[in-house]
Amino acid sequence: MAGFLIALLSGALMSVQGIFNTQVTKSTGIWVSNGWVQLSAFALCVVVWLATGRESVSTLWEVRPHYMLLGGVIGAGITWTVIQSVSALGPARSALLIVIAQLAVSYLIQLFGLFGMDQEPFSWKKAGGLLLAVAGIMIFQLSGTK
Alpha carbons 29 and 22: distance in angstroms, whole number: 9
**Mean pLDDT to the nearest integer, 105-133:** 94
Q: Say if residue 131's pLDDT is above 90.
A: yes
Residue 104, domain extent:
2-143
Torsional sign, CA 112, 117, 120, 126: negative
pLDDT for the residue numbered 144: 66
Classify residue 76 as exposed, middle or buried by CB count within 10 Å of its CB (0-12, 13-18, 19+).
Answer: middle
69 Cβ contact list (under 8 Å, min separation 6): 60, 63
Domain count, the chain: 1
What are the pLDDT digits (tens) for 21-49? 999 999 999 999 999 999 999 999 999 99
Alpha carbons 118 and 97: distance in angstroms, whole number: 26
